[in-house]
Amino acid sequence: MPRVLIVDDAAFMRMMLKDILVKNGYEVIGEAPNGLKAVEMYKQEKPDVVTMDITMPEMDGIQAVKEIRAFDPNAKIIMCSAMGQQAMVMEAIKSGAKDFIVKPFQPERVLEALKKVLG
């Protein structure tokens, strides 16, 4: 069962993603409200995959991707973005994110991204 870390500053977004993941056989091993906490939790838990929001307080998703990838070059990270954040998504991909999903989340797309990234 793949282990997932969900990172988003909005609790309801984390809850929606967690619901999709748990119903489809993924184990959510943690939730972080910002990039700072995400980096800390990644180092402790070493999840199989991370879903990472872009715009968050304290440390944004792009900086968190860079820090997680510096710690673990093989980290599998999927960015979560609102419509109209293409430039930020491209920067995140350049920083090492593997894929992205757009809010509001569509379960099929979330699962497709996870399958693709987990290989």
* Fold type of domain 3-118: Rossmann fold (3.40.50)
> pLDDT at position 84, please?
77
Looking at the chain, which runs of residues are DSSP E strands?
Answer: 3-7, 27-32, 49-53, 77-81, 99-102
Tens-digit pLDDT profile for residues 52-96: 999 999 999 999 999 999 999 999 999 998 877 788 889 999 999
Closest to 52 (Cα-Cα) out of 9, 16, 12, 22: 9
> pLDDT at position 113, please?
97
Tens-digit pLDDT profile for residues 97-106: 999 999 989 9
Q: What is the pTM of this model?
A: 0.95
Neighbours of 57 (CB within 10 A): 10
- Domain residue extents for the chain: 3-118
